[in-house]
Copies of this chain bind each other. A is one copy, B any other.
Amino acid sequence: MAMESFNKRLLDEIKIKNSHLCIGLDINPEGLNNPNSSLEELKSHTFKVIDATRDLAVAFKPNLAFFERWGSNGFKWLEETMDYIGPETITIGDAKRGDIGNTAKQYAMSLFDHFGFDSITLSPYLGYDSIGPFVLQSNKGVFLLCRTSNSSAKDVQDLRLSSNQLLFEQIARLAVKWNKNDNIGLVVGATMPEEITRVRNIAHNLPMLIPGIGAQGGDLKKSMEYGNQNGIAIINISRGISFAGDLSEIAIRDSAKQFLEQMREYS
């Protein structure tokens, strides 16, 4: 049986679930408004978010920093979170790794083999060596940072090259070139809708992972319209869902439903 490529699986799942909603798992005591939250409480809230939204989300995106903050106990919580999500829903390990080939291999063993993520986020600064070990298996995917949602992204990503392109546009070109196994996508922030179009014009067929809606103030309508033109986009929401209302399962589900309905309206 031929293995389905990651990008194909993502497209199929979007259609089956009629959902472009990616839910970021960035759970911390600050979000729970309780600086003394125990790891047990963080874990049980994580499971609550998963239970409340499993049928609505096309993907879950655990953010590794929020687990690493607690060291080995945090990684145990991540292992349990991956088990709890299970194999049905697509997982994106938001790790933003980027290292030389021999080290990249160890990270691939960590993220794909040990934790079992279906895909991860990577930084492009070290070039192809740092991507190669993650794209060998076509059923495992990579979302390469292209134009991020933070305000200082411009410090580096908007630098103008001698070719007259901006750096992030060249990264999009490289991603297209490196996408031999139909398993590379791009991260483009919702805070920069014009940049989504610029990237789309270069990378017609690459899926986009669009963060920056909610706390960061990105534009959902434009993100959906521009991101899904000539390709597919999934939209990440983290705090806007995980920490919705009174933090109950009902409040979390209601918020996820509202975002999903808006996305369906704009698609």
A residues at B contact (CB < 8 Å): 26, 28, 63, 65-66, 68-76, 78-79, 96-104, 106-107, 109-110, 114-115, 123-130, 145, 148-157, 159-162, 164, 167, 170-171, 174, 215-216
| Interface residues of chain A: helix, strand, loop or mixed (majority) | helix
Q: For A103, give the chain B residue with the smallest CB separation.
A: B65
Q: Are B99 and A69 in contact (CB under 8 A)?
A: no
**Copies of this chain held together in the complex:** 2
Chain B residues contacting A126 (CB-CB under 8 Å) are 145, 148, 150, 152-153, 156-157
Q: Are A125 and B124 in contact (CB under 8 A)?
A: yes
Q: Write the nearest CB–CB distance from A199 to chain B, whole angstroms.
A: 15
Q: Which of A69, A70, A174: most chain B CB closer than 10 A?
A: A69
Q: Write the nearest CB–CB distance from A225 to chain B, whole angstroms.
A: 24
Q: For A26, give the chain B residue with the smallest CB separation.
A: B103
Q: Write the nearest CB–CB distance from A218 to chain B, whole angstroms.
A: 12
Q: Are A97 and B96 in contact (CB under 8 A)?
A: yes
Q: Are A123 and B106 in contact (CB under 8 A)?
A: no
A100 vs B115: C-alpha distance when bound (angstroms): 23
Q: Are B161 and A100 in contact (CB under 8 A)?
A: no
Q: Which of B96, B109, B170 contacts A99 (CB 8 A)?
A: B96
A102 vs B155: C-alpha distance when bound (angstroms): 18
Given contact pairs A110-B68, A129-B151, A167 touches B164 in the complex (Cβ within 8 A): no
A99 vs B102: C-alpha distance when bound (angstroms): 22
Q: Are B65 and A72 in contact (CB under 8 A)?
A: no
A168 vs B145: C-alpha distance when bound (angstroms): 18
Q: Are A125 and B69 in contact (CB under 8 A)?
A: no
Q: Are B150 and A114 in contact (CB under 8 A)?
A: no
Q: Are A114 and B69 in contact (CB under 8 A)?
A: yes
Q: Are B125 and A152 in contact (CB under 8 A)?
A: no
Q: Write the nearest CB–CB distance from A24 to chain B, whole angstroms.
A: 10
* Apart from A26-B102, A68-B75, 14 more pairs, CB < 8 Å: A68-B107, A71-B115, A125-B125, A125-B157, A126-B148, A126-B157, A128-B155, A129-B153, A156-B170, A156-B174, A159-B161, A159-B170, A161-B162, A167-B167
23 A-B pairs within 8 Å (CB atoms) are namely A26-B102, A65-B103, A65-B106, A65-B110, A66-B106, A68-B75, A69-B109, A69-B114, A71-B78, A71-B115, A72-B75, A96-B99, A100-B149, A124-B155, A125-B156, A126-B145, A126-B150, A127-B153, A129-B152, A129-B153, A155-B174, A159-B170, A161-B161
